[in-house]
Amino acid sequence: MAQRKTESGFPVKPVYDQSDLPGDTDKRVGRPGEYPYTRGVYPTMYTSRPWTMRQYAGFGTATESNARYHQLLQHGTMGLSVAFDLPTQMGYDSDDPVAHGEVGKVGVAIDSLADMKTLFDGIPLDKVSTSMTINAPGSVLLLLYQLVAEEAGIPGSALNGTIQNDILKEYIARGTYIFPPKPSLRLVADTFAYCRKEVPKWNTISISGYHMAEAGATPVQEIAFTLANGVDYVRAAIAAGLAVDDFAPRLSFFFVARTTLLEEVAKFRAARRIWARLMREEFGAQDPKSMMLRFHTQTAGVQLTAQQPEVNLVRVAVQGLGAVLGGTQSLHTNSYDEAIALPTEKAARLALRTQQVLAYETDLTATVDPFAGSYVVEAMTDEIETAALALMERVGSYGSSVDAIEAGFQKNEIETSAYRVAQEIDSGARVVVGLNKFTIAEEEPYEPLRVDPAIEAAQAKRLATIRESRDAAAVAQALAAVKSAAEGTDNVLYPMREALRAYATVGEVCNALREVWGVYHPVERF
C-alpha cells in the first residue's frame, strides 16, 4: 500500500514519536499568548469566550440581505460577513453595461450610500462586528459603512470589523482587480493611515490565503504566498511613512480549513510562528500585537460536492473542528448546499448550528491548544514552516510579491498543484465520497435558492432616482477632488468619503480613480 502524503506532499508516517521532534520543541512552541504564538495569540483563547461566529451572506438587493442578517443575528451569529455581487467587487454600478446579468447574483448589489443604509437598517453597528469581503473597492465600502454609522450617531471610533482589502491575491488567484499593483498598494496604505486616525478599531486588511487555496494551492503554498503578500503590504505602509507598530496590530489574515484536519492545525501553528518572527526580526516591531497573526477561517468551499450534498454537513463539521483546534479568531462554516447555489435559510442556519455545537457541546473550549505536544502535529508544524519559508524565499528572489506576480510565479505554482489534484480525483487515487466513490445511482431532487433577474432593473431604476435627486454640481466637484488627490500624494480616502456622502456612486468613485491610475491587464504567458 502506498504511503499517504499530506496535501503539501510530505509523507505521513504511520507512527510518530519523540524522535520526530527537535530537542528545542518546547522553546519553539512557547506558551499560549506569548511569542512566537505557536499555541495561539491569546493566553486564554476560547476558555473565556468562543471564537467569533460569522456567516458569510449577501444576495440580491440590500433589502433581502438585510433580512438575512437579522435572521442570522437572531439565530446567534456574533458577527456579520458581507458578500458583494461581482459588479460591486469590480467597481461598476448595476446599470453599467459590464454588469449585465451579474447584478445581485453572488452577493448583494451596492451602488450608493442609499443601498448601504438599507443593507444595515436596524442593525446596531456599534454592537456587531462586520467583515466585508471586498478588495479593489474595499476602501469605498468601508467609507460607506462609516457614513451609515455616522448618520446613526455612531462615531468611527466605535466601529469594529474588517475589510478584506487584499488586492495582491486577486492578481494571483481570483481576478477581481481594477488598478495596477502599484497604485493598488498606495490605496491600501492610504486605508491603513485613514483607519488609524478615523476608525482605529477596524482591521484594515484581511490578507487572504483562502482564495488561493480554493484555486488549488497546497497548505504550504497558501501560507507562503499569503505571508509574502503580507510582507509587501508592510513594506508599502512603511514606505508611505507609517511606523510598523502604528498599523501592524490591525492587520488580519484569512485562511481555509480543509478536511485534512491534522495538517490544517499544523498549518495555522506554523503561520503564526513565521509571522511573529518576520515582524520582530525583519521589521523591528516592538508591540506584541504587531507580531500576532490573527485570522478568520472559512471552511473549504472547493471541497464541497453537488453530489450527495448532505455529506457536506460532515465535511464542514470536520473542517470547522480543524479551524478551532488551529486557533482561529473567527469562523464561517459553509452551508451544505453551496456547491449547488446560494444557501437557503435552513442551510445557513444549520451551518451556524455546526459552530454552536463545537463551541457549546464539545470540550474544545475547556483548554487552550489541546494538540500542543502531539508528535504528529508538532512534526507537521515544523515541516510546513520549513517548506513555507523556502517558498517565501523563492518569491523574494523575484524582488517582491508584486514582481513575482508579474512574472506569473505564484499563479503557475498554484495551477500545477490544482492540476495534480484534479488528476488524482479523476483517477480515483484521491477519494471524494459521493463523487468518485460511494456514489448513488440517482441524486435526490433539491430546490436551490434563486436570485430574481428583475433585481437588475430595480437597481437601475433606483440609481436613476438617486442621480436625479442629488446635487450634480456637488458630485462633480467631489469627484474632481478624488482625481486630484489620486494624481498627487494626498490620502485619497478623505475626498472619496465626501464624494460618497454627496451620493456619488461606487462606480463613479472607482471610475475617477481609473481615469488617473488606469486598469490592470495581465500579461498572458504560454
Tens of pLDDT, residues 148-162: 999 999 999 999 999
| Whole-number pLDDT of residue 521 | 86
Q: What is the mean pLDDT of residues 158-172?
A: 96
pLDDT tens, position by position, 108-148: 999 999 999 999 999 999 999 999 999 999 999 999 999 99
Classify strands 202-203 and 205-208 as parallel, antiparallel or unpaired.
unpaired
Q: What is the mean pLDDT of residues 504-509?
A: 98
Opening angle at CA 398, ends 393 and 400, nearest 5? 80
- 193, three cell numbers: 493611515
pLDDT tens, position by position, 437-491: 999 988 777 776 666 778 899 999 999 999 999 999 999 999 999 999 999 999 9
Q: What is the mean pLDDT of residues 159-177?
A: 95
Q: What is the mean pLDDT of residues 16-44?
A: 94
Average pLDDT for the chain: 94
Helix (H) or strand (E) run with residue 203 in it: strand 202-203
Contact 255, 210 (CB under 8 A): yes
Please state, for a pLDDT cut of 70, what percent of the chain lies above it: 97
Residue 499: pLDDT band (50, 70, 90) is very high
Q: What is the mean pLDDT of residues 158-169?
A: 96
Which of 20-29, 67-76, 253-262 shows the highest mean pLDDT? 253-262
pLDDT tens, position by position, 212-225: 999 999 999 999 99
Asked whether the predicted pLDDT for residue 525 surpasses 60, the reply is: no
Residue 429 has φ and ψ, to the nearest 5°, of: -65, -30
Asked whether the predicted pLDDT for residue 523 surpasses 80, the reply is: no
| Whole-number pLDDT of residue 526 | 41
Question: Can you give the pTM of this predicted structure?
Answer: 0.92
Rounded CA-CA distance 233/185 in Å is 7
User: In 3-state terms, what secondary structure has residue 367?
Assistant: coil
For residue 180, how many other CB atoms are within 10 A of its CB?
A: 17
pLDDT tens, position by position, 366-419: 999 999 999 999 999 999 999 999 999 999 999 999 999 999 999 999 999 999
CA 380, 398, 272, 226 torsion-angle sign: negative
Of residues 113 and 26, more confidently modeled: 113
